[in-house]
Amino acid sequence: MAGLELLSDQGYRLDGRKAPELRKVQARMGVFAQADGSAYIEQGNTKALAVVYGPHEMRGSRSRTLHDRAVINCQYSMATFSTAERKRRPHGDRKSTEMSLHLKQTFEAAVMTQLYPRSQIDIYVKVLQADGGNYSVCVNAATLAVIDAGIPMRDYVCACTVGFVDETPLADLCFAEESGGGSSLALALLPRGGQIALLQMDARLHQDHLETLMEAAMTACKGVSKVLDEVVRQHLQEVSVLTGE
């Protein structure tokens, strides 16, 4: 009934952020030694783990092999304990299949697959705690993991969700904002060139507002890319100290 007030008259959101502010992002690369690349990211209370294997030879059905580039295989899953109510999530339900497909499309646009013909790159992402913006957090985690695996990419892929409340775009929605009605848009961006890797929106939105919303999403993605860049640099520094170079 009495809907939550997503944006107060003073311009505060439910959790105290202002409209264009992101949640706190913390990330680590190389969390697992066994995989080729791995990363863990926290964006507010949404936490995700990404693991990358490859590039390696095609496994399973060889018929999917592409002769000019690598195949990217993505798998998205959510931990049973990731939401407030524990819920068993069967493997391959519709939501995660769709999400996997989105991830795949995003990374096919970003990874330089033509360097590895006839091979396969596996990206596994698991959401450990879900609090809105699952897709974008997964993309960000996977980016770090791919970098960690040393697979060349055109640019970082940074993603962010943006919502639209009271004619104002809100960056990086949390769960309460996402479920509170209103339309939300997910954007994955290659920030340096400003190319869009994926753009997704399910809800209705007036055409006039689309441009402002896209602009807000791009700014937010660029913000995310700065944070990721810092994480990568710091990681490299740590690693280079360890290897003694």
Partner 1 sequence: MIKTEKIVHLKSSRGRKVRVVREHYLRQHVPCYSSLCQARCNNDGQVLSGDVTHYVFPDVGVVVDYQEVLEVAGLRGVVFTQTACHAVQHGKGRRQYNRLRGLLKDPRHDCVLFANEFQEYAYCSREKGESQDKWHNRCVYSAAVWYHDHLAGVKPVVMITEDVSAVAEYSSLHSGIYIVSMQEYLQNFWPELQAAQDLYCSISQTLQEKESEGTEREYTEHLPSEVLEAGIKSGRYIQGTLNVNKHRAQNEAFVRLEGSSNKNTDLNSDVLVSGGKSRNRAVHGDTVVVELLPRSEWSGRAMALSEGQGEDKPPESIQSQPMPTGRVVGILQRNWRDYVVTFPPKEETQSRNSRRILATPWDQRIPKIRISTQQADALQDHRVVVRMDSWESTSLYPNGHSVRVLGRAGELETEIQTILIENSIHILPFSEAQLREMPANSPENPWRADAAARRDLRESHLVFSIDPRGCEDVDDTLSVRSLPGGERLELGVHIADVTHFVPEGSLTDLEARTRATTYYLADRRYDMLPAVLSADLCSLLGGVDRYAMSVIWELDTRTLAVHKVWYGRTLIRSSYQLHYELAQALLNGEPAQVLELTRLEPDQRDAKLAQLTEALEMLTHVARHLRAQRDQGGALELEGVEVRAQLDEDKNITALVPREPLEVHETVAECMIYANHWVARKIQESFPQQALLRYHPPPRQEYFNQLVDSATARGFTINTRSNKDLAKSLDQAVDPKDPLVNRLLRVMATQAMSNALYVSTGSIPQDQYYHYGLALDRYTHFTSPIRRYADVVVHRLLTAAISLDQDSDPSKPLASNKELEVMAQHINKKNQAAQRTQKLSTELFQCLYFKDKDPLTDPCCVADAIMYSIRANGFLVFIPQYGLKGAVYVKNREGQVVSAGQDGTCEWQSGSVHRYPDHISTVCSAGTTTFSLFHHITVRISVQPSRCHSDSLHLEVLSNTPHQSPPEPADLPGPQHRGSTQLVQEVVRLAEEATQQAQEKAAQGNRLSREERAFRQTKGPNLYSLLEEVRELALMDMQACGTGGGGLLGLIGQAGCTTSA
State in angstroms the smallest separation of the CB of 131 from partner 1.
8
Judged by beta carbon, residue 40 or residue 116, the one nearer partner 1 is 40
Judged by beta carbon, residue 2 or residue 33, the one nearer partner 1 is 2
State in angstroms the smallest separation of the CB of 146 from partner 1.
27
Paired strand residues for 127: 48, 78
Which amino acid makes up residue 185?
L
State in angstroms the smallest separation of the CB of 103 from partner 1.
25
State in angstroms the smallest separation of the CB of 31 from partner 1.
21
DSSP 45: T
CA-to-CA distance for 60 and 215, rounded, in angstroms?
A: 42
CA-to-CA distance for 18 and 6, rounded, in angstroms?
A: 11
Interface residues with partner 1 (CB under 8 A) are 1-2, 5, 8-10, 12, 14-17, 21, 23-24, 44-45, 84-85, 131, 167, 174, 176
Which amino acid makes up residue 126?
K
Q: Which two tokens stand for residue 55?
A: 């590039």
Judged by beta carbon, residue 26 or residue 234, the one nearer partner 1 is 26
State in angstroms the smallest separation of the CB of 205 from partner 1.
15
- Backbone φ and ψ of 154, nearest 5°: -65, -40
State in angstroms the smallest separation of the CB of 45 from partner 1.
6
Judged by beta carbon, residue 77 or residue 83, the one nearer partner 1 is 83
Judged by beta carbon, residue 8 or residue 240, the one nearer partner 1 is 8
Judged by beta carbon, residue 9 or residue 245, the one nearer partner 1 is 9
**Residue 223, SS3 per DSSP:** helix
Per DSSP, the residues of 114-162 read GGSTTEEEEEEEEEEE--S-HHHHHHHHHHHHHHHHT--BSS--EEEEE
> By C-alpha distance, which of 184, 166, 180, 177 is closest to 44?
177
